[in-house]
Amino acid sequence: MNCGFESWGFGNWGPLASLGPRVFALDPLYLDGVGLAEVAITLGKVIVAFGLLLVGVMLMIWFERKLISDMQNRIGPSLAGPFGIFQTLADGIKLFFKEDLIPQRSDPLVFKLAPYLSLVPAFLVFAVVPIGGDFNGGDGRVSIFGHETFLQVADPPIGILLVLAMSSVAVYGVMLAGWSSGSKYPLLASVRASAQMVSYEAALGLSLATVLLKSGSLSTNQIVSEQSVWNWNLWLTWVVPMVVFLIAATAELNRPPFDLVEAEQELVGGFHTEYSSLRFALFFLAEFMNTITMSAIIVTLFLGGPNGPDFTTVGWLSGVLWFFIKLMLFVFTFIWLRATLPRIRYDQLMDLGWKLLIPVSLGWLLLLASYDIAGDRGWNRPLTLIVTVLVMCGLAGLLRLALLSGTKAATPNNAQEPSLGSLDTLDTLDTLDTLDTKEGAF
Amino acid sequence: METAVFIVCAVIVLAGSLGVVLARNPVHAALSLVGTLFGVAVLFLNLEAHFLAAVQIIVYAGAIVVLFLFVIMLLGVDRLEDISIEPILGQRVLATFVGLAGFGLGAAYIATSVEGATISTSSLLRVPASNLHHIAEVLFTDYVYAFEATAALLTISVVGAVVMTRRAGRNRVTQTTAGED
């Protein structure tokens, strides 16, 4: 297998040699300094990841259209190639050759920059996802041309934080696209989008913290190693964080039922209304790429990544297969959600994010932490759990009481909240009051 | 290699900060600020402060500048400002003076600092991949009071913001109830 890169005589490759172990410390590939072979393998990994994502997006769009047509009793794309599999390619070529319009009232520089701001983070996140490797005995090392390495582009020490950082950078793409178009509807969409994405990032981060509590490391490779073979975080964290993460990720991706950003009925098209041709294609690409990457992140965090019983004779193949099986599960889930659920309203979206997901994930984190500490200190675990739940319930009750008394103090003549049923019994004064609030509601 | 990274980042940071000051369009200024923050993050990486770099991106670029942009867009102040009028009298002279004084202070500090004086902290961080553990340990032992005080301060400001935006005497009306009458 050894291709003989060393025989070329490049032992340590110039200035990169000092960089290797420091910047990419965790990958065993760089332990002996960086030579030409290491650079070649890294480049190879980058190209494979890039190609995988592009082809993956092409197939996913086809898969999504086919699946949704099946769920809606239609045929879907069927003409281009076998089963219409080349439909996306045809669409891409069509978009490529369309006229590129830049609106007169736009901000040209930012308008051109925005698509790349959403595309580049989408690519970068996939770099930290381990897509294979043997985690049954070892720590996921595979041997490429006699060099030990991980099957992921990079394993930086901040690992999973890169995902959060990139998803917060991706907000800029959407936000600036809407603003720079110089048009009202895209601006409204981008304000909605950025508020939505920033809100759900909190829930995303908090549910991710439970995983960090279990694995004790930020490195994605470590997180996957800790879950070997059946110690998946899904049950180690008692399911709830994965559900929260899945919901928050759907909102972060602006996918249905959280696709208020692209509400055609209200906003013409969404933040990309003014975009055409290749720039529009880039947004589209970024969106689907993010869906794939987010599925990959969920698999890595909660389903053990490439972990699974070895069922092939080739060592590394089974890991890759397990990873793709799990990945497809989540890609299918996202498409399924789109076909099933209607879009939710904006106030429901904010209520769900701030009042349900964030408190639940925060409480769950505390619960897991108390359980772990009880184990460390030798306390009675069930008792500790019960006490923690009681304390949290007490605090939540206090908060509810405070909010209720605040409402009562504010509205002395109208103690009950206007619900659907009580609305007809309200006198004219209160109706006027509610009408007045309608303007202030947003 | 380290020096090369530093030079590139320094150029990005300086260009970004000049952009913040010189751009007439507030959105462009905010974007230049993002550029500066990214440059600083890479500088942190260059110093092996991985966690700080990540936090720099997540908190500053990801949340704070997004908030700036959000406010700029919502208030609709994203137009070119007329800078021929000085809102506060003597503001520019004062700003120039304070800016120069700050620069002078920084320069004086760097000029008088002893070479190698800061090595002790970096050797502490040199343990591979335990950046985060070190920060956590220091944060929850030596600086625990400062940490808790900051947490309390942030909580109070959040509560304050909620109280200020919660208008008294108004009931919350949902779209359904409002649509029925």
**B150 in a structural domain:** yes
In a domain, B28, yes or no: yes
> Residue B61: inside a domain, yes or no?
yes
Window 95-114 of A: residues touching B by CB (8 A cutoff) are 107, 109-110
Domain boundary among B24, B57, B82: B82
Closest CA to B168 of A404, A407, A417, A428: A407
Kindly report the nearest CA distance between residue A8 and chain B, in angstroms.
24
Closest CA to A274 of A110, A123, A97, A117: A110
Q: ipTM of the assembly?
A: 0.77
Residues B14 and B69 grouped into a single domain: yes
Provide the whole-model pTM.
0.82
Chain B CB within 8 Å of residue A418 CB: yes
pLDDT at B146 over 60: yes
Helix (H, G, I), strand (E, B) or coil at A391: helix
DSSP A33: -
Sort A397 into a burial class: Cβ within 10 Å, 0-12 / 13-18 / 19+.
exposed
Q: Quick check: is B173 in a domain?
A: no
pLDDT tens string A294-337: 999 999 999 988 888 877 766 678 888 889 999 999 999 999 99
Looking at residue A390, what is its pLDDT? 92
Instruction: Scan residues 67-96 of B and list those with Cβ closer than 8 Å to A.
Output: 67, 69-70, 73-74, 78
Which pLDDT value is given to residue A424?
39
Buried b (16+ CB within 10 A) or exposed e, A206-231: bbbbbbbbbbebbbbbbbbbbbbeee
Q: Phi/psi of residue A350, each to 5°?
A: -70, -40
- Neighbour tally for A153: CB within 10 Å: 23
CA distance B162 to A344: 24
3-state secondary structure of A75: coil
Pick from A168, A190, A347: CB nearest B174: A347
Give the span between the Cα atoms of A407 and A415, in whole angstroms: 8
The reply to whether B43 touches chain A by the CB within 8 Å rule is: no
Answer yes or no: is B141 within a domain. yes
Q: What is the CATH number of the domain that holds B9?
A: 1.20.120.1200
Tell me the residue range of the domain where B163 lies. 126-167
In a domain, A112, yes or no: yes
Kind plus residue range of the DSSP H or E element containing A142: strand A141-144
Q: Is the pLDDT of residue B12 over 60?
A: yes
pLDDT > 60? residue B82:
yes
The C-alpha angle B137, B142, B147, rounded to 5 degrees, equals: 85
- Please tell me whether residues B28 and B52 are part of one structural domain: yes
Do B40 and B105 fall within a single domain?
A: no
Q: How many separate domains does chain A show?
A: 1
User: What's the mean pLDDT in B64-90?
Assistant: 76
Q: Find the domain containing A128 and state its range.
A: 102-369
- What is the C-alpha separation between A195 and A193, in angstroms, rounded? 5
How far off is chain B from A362, nearest CA to CA, in Å?
15
- Dihedral, CA of residue B7, residue B8, residue B12 and residue B17, to nearest 10: 0
Of A226, A268, A296, A217, the residue nearest A26 (C-alpha): A217
pLDDT at A420 over 70: no
Considering the domain architecture, whether residues B43 and B69 belong to the same structural domain is answered as: yes
The answer, yes or no, to whether residue A17 has pLDDT greater than 60, is no
Identify whether residues B47 and B24 lie together within a single domain: yes
State how many domains chain B has: 3
- Measured distance CA(B129)–CA(B106) in Å, rounded: 32
Q: What pLDDT score was predicted for residue A327?
A: 93
pLDDT, mean of residues A98-104 = 87
Structure tokens at A140: 């996921």
pLDDT of residue A381: 85
Residue A401 lies in a domain: no
Instruction: Examine residue B176 and state whether it is found in any structural domain, yes or no.
Output: no
Residue pLDDT, tens place only, A19-66: 444 444 456 676 666 777 788 888 888 998 899 899 999 999 999 999
pLDDT in tens, A355-405: 899 999 999 999 999 998 898 888 888 888 899 999 999 998 998 888 788
In a domain, B151, yes or no: yes
Asked if residue B30 lies in contact with residue B68, where contact means CB atoms within 8 angstroms, the answer is yes
Q: Kindly state whether B28 is in contact with chain A, defined as any CB-CB distance less than 8 angstroms.
A: yes
Residue A272 — φ and ψ, nearest 5°? -105, 20
Question: Which residue type, as a one-letter code, is found at position A310?
Answer: D
Q: For residue A355, give the DSSP letter.
A: I
Say if A314 falls within a structural domain.
yes
A420 inside 8 A of chain B by CB = yes
Contact indicator for A224, A305 with CB cutoff of 8 Å: yes
Residues B4 and B53 in one domain: yes
Task: Mark whether B15 and B65 lie in a shared domain.
Answer: yes
Within a domain: residue A265? yes
B34 in a structural domain: yes
Confidence of residue A103 (pLDDT cuts 50, 70, 90): confident
Question: Measured between CA atoms, how close is B6 to chain A, in angstroms?
Answer: 13
